[in-house]
A = this chain, B = another copy of it.
Amino acid sequence: MLDPVKISKALSEPARYKIMLMLVNQYYREVSQCCSFTTEGVCNCEIMAEFGMIQSRVSYHMKELTEAGLVTEKPCGKWKYYIPNAETLKNYINQLGVDFKL
């Protein structure tokens, strides 16, 4: 099911942790920076701008986060929006509690 080692690894990269923080804080806004209509989620190009990262690097990290289940992708035309997956984070925390008897 949920693999706490895999999620730990996804969170263990500083750039990825920062991206997760950004997603959590900005994923719901009135007006998106890219699409001309209201939407939720943060797109690739916003992450590039925020951290000064090149496009392929952002893509790589978003794939890692998505494969760990920490992020959900929402394509929107030629853009792609990312939404943090609170369920996975909750399950991860819960699993740690069970595994380590907290």
Contacts and interface: CB of A to CB of B under 8 A. Distances in A.
A99 interface: yes
Contacts of A21: 99-100
B93 A97 contact: yes
B9 A100 contact: no
Contacts of A101: 24
A90 interface: yes
Contacts of A12: 5, 8-9, 11-12
Contacts of A86: 100, 102
Interface of A: 4-5, 8-9, 11-14, 17, 20-21, 24, 84, 86, 89-90, 92-93, 96-97, 99-102
